Amino acid sequence: MNESNVTWIRGTKGPTPQLTDPSSSQTIPILVTGGAGFIGSNFVHGWLGPNLSGSRGALVNLDKLTYAGNAGNLIALAGRPDYTFVHGDIGDAALVAHLLEQHRPHALLHFAAESHVDRSIAGPDAFLRTNIEGTFALLQAVRAYLDGADSATRERFRFIHVSTDEVYGSLGPDDAAFHEDTPYAPNSPYAASKAASDHLVRAWTHTFGVPAIITNCSNNYGPYQFPEKLLPLMIANALAGKPLPVYGDGQQIRDWLFVADHCRALEAVLDGGRVGETYNIGGGNQRSNLEVVHAVCGLLDELVPGSPHRPHRALVRFVEDRPGHDRRYAIDASKIERELGWRALESFETGLRKTVEWYLANPAWIADVTSGAYRQWIDQNYGTRGGTTSAALAKAHA
Ligand code: NAD
Ligand code: DAU
């Protein structure tokens, strides 16, 4: 990566970050956390556009580059004067305070999180640290920054807290979809940590006047999603002729949203959302996991006609279920549609086709992110679910 606009900071000992382009008319940046992850990198690309003329303005990206963060997702932005990358932890209060004072952003979009439910079951510690303590550190830093800011900055500033529908718990088959007043009932360590962070954001708005807005979104899919999550895992495994591990009976329901639609919703919330409010975001695409896996297989059968693994759905294996597995999520997105005029542009069918096509066009990206530590995770998560370790899979398909 070209280092000219990339500031690598560890703690506060690194070089001082520079405002990317002082001559630009849009020099007041936004600060994004977790912009090297799946949704964050899609947001960063959408915000900055393919070139400067399509940019919405300068953007500073603070990311710790955990296993889920990938600097390669943003390689196309190397050399862009409107983009600054900062390598660091949201829990580093001194670093965050420094970035706020240095860049004086007009908004903070908070994507950074530990985001994978299965990992939160295997080891919840990092989830509490980043999702709860990290969000707390950000809120305190923003509070101090705004206390010292002029009234115009205080008036304009927004803290957009990117959260999840999992805070609402699990729905029965006939229950109405989650709406903004649905009581919180998180079931996994991940969901509990996100629920806690939502409560902190709410309290900091109510008590200290931090101008925050919370968004709760359903399952995203699309380019740059790490293949530990259902869709990219199924695509990567099917392409490699490996088993497709479906938890339990595969009848759990998720409400799928193409990631670019989520990113557009976040821009709409930033532009017109009301401080102190929550907005639910979802695609209105309820599908069982088995339906989703079969849809992926059908697309691969069509798009890779020469594959030796056709029909790909023959690779499906039912494996031991996720502990505490939520049965159904569904989002009522009528508030954001009504108030902010947002609508999902992709149907599940069009979004899924784009997603599968992206993974087919980017085998090097898959190879890169599925090397090294990824294999240990696959062995750890699937090794006890019915013999689908990477070694067993390789043997079975040798
Ligand atoms: P992801 O796991 O792909 O990316 C998370 C990013 O945060 C990575 O780049 C990682 O390096 C970074 N990060 C982690 N800990 C950090 C820390 N302490 N300091 C700085 N950076 C850190 O996650 P995602 O799927 O892109 O999700 C982004 C946000 O959206 C999360 O807050 C998640 O809860 C929320 N969300 C996700 C979905 C979904 O379907 N993926 C749906 C609704 C809400
Ligand atoms: O609902 C929003 C949430 O969606 C986000 O907040 C989370 O960050 C995101 O990870 C996602 O959580 P899920 O647990 O729903 O996503 P995941 O892709 O891990 O699993 C989707 C469904 O597929 C779930 O019911 C579990 C199932 N599954 C998953 C994997 C990885 C399988 O059946 N097999 C698998 O191998």
Instruction: Compute, in angstroms, the gap from residue 242 CA to the centroid of ligand 1.
Output: 27
Give the DSSP letter of residue 315.
G
- Residues in the ligand 1 pocket, defined by CB under 6 Å: 33-34, 36-40, 62-66, 68-69, 89-91, 111-115, 130, 134, 162, 164, 194, 217, 219-220, 226
181-211 per-position pLDDT tens digit: 999 999 999 999 999 999 999 999 999 999 9
| Strand extents, DSSP E, 262-335 | 278-281, 286-288, 316-319
Q: Is 190 a catalytic residue?
A: yes
What's the whole-model pTM score? 0.93
d(CA 46, CA 42): 6
Confidence (pLDDT) at 233: 98
Q: Is 165 a catalytic residue?
A: yes
Residue of 110, 188, 247 best suited for mutating to test ligand 2, as the one with most atoms within 8 Å of CB:
247
The residue with tokens 């956390």 is: 33
Confidence (pLDDT) at 395: 43
Confidence (pLDDT) at 121: 98
Confidence (pLDDT) at 23: 43
Residue 389 has pLDDT above 60, yes or no: no
CB neighbours of 291 closer than 8 A, spacing ≥ 6?
none
Does residue 255 have its Cβ closer than 6 Å to ligand 2?
no
Does residue 163 have its Cβ closer than 6 Å to ligand 2?
no
Confidence (pLDDT) at 397: 41
Residue 259 has pLDDT above 80, yes or no: yes
Give the DSSP letter of residue 15.
P
Confidence (pLDDT) at 137: 98
Residue 391 has pLDDT above 60, yes or no: no
Residue 299 has pLDDT above 80, yes or no: yes
How far apart are the two ends of the chain, measured CA to CA in Å? 36
d(CA 282, CA 124): 26
d(CA 274, CA 381): 41
Does residue 218 have its Cβ closer than 6 Å to ligand 2?
yes
Average pLDDT over residues 297-322: 98
d(CA 43, CA 58): 13
DSSP H/E element including 59: strand 59-63
Confidence (pLDDT) at 26: 58
149-166 per-position pLDDT tens digit: 999 999 999 999 999 999
Does residue 82 have its Cβ closer than 6 Å to ligand 2?
no
Instruction: Compute, in angstroms, the gap from residue 79 CA to the centroid of ligand 1.
Output: 25
Does residue 160 have its Cβ closer than 6 Å to ligand 2?
no
Confidence (pLDDT) at 396: 39
83-129 per-position pLDDT tens digit: 999 999 999 999 999 999 999 999 999 999 999 999 999 999 999 99
Does residue 142 have its Cβ closer than 6 Å to ligand 2?
no
Residue 4 has pLDDT above 80, yes or no: no
Residue 3 has pLDDT above 80, yes or no: no
Give the number of other CB atoms < 10 A from CB of residue 378. 22
| Contact (Cβ atoms closer than 8 angstroms) between residue 362 and residue 69 | no
Handedness of CA 251, 225, 382, 195 (dihedral sign): negative
310-320 per-position pLDDT tens digit: 999 999 999 99
Q: Average pLDDT of the chain?
A: 91
How confident is residue 141, by pLDDT bands cut at 50, 70 and 90? very high
Of all protein residues, the one whose alpha carbon is nearest to atom 44 of ligand 1 is 164
How confident is residue 375, by pLDDT bands cut at 50, 70 and 90? confident
- Beta bridge partner(s), residue 30: 59, 107
CB neighbours of 219 closer than 8 A, spacing ≥ 6?
230, 254, 255, 256, 257, 329
The closest ligand to the CA of 221 turns out to be: 1
Instruction: Compute, in angstroms, the gap from residue 189 CA to the centroid of ligand 2.
Output: 14
30-48 per-position pLDDT tens digit: 999 999 999 999 999 999 9
Instruction: Compute, in angstroms, the gap from residue 344 CA to the centroid of ligand 1.
Output: 21
d(CA 362, CA 300): 14
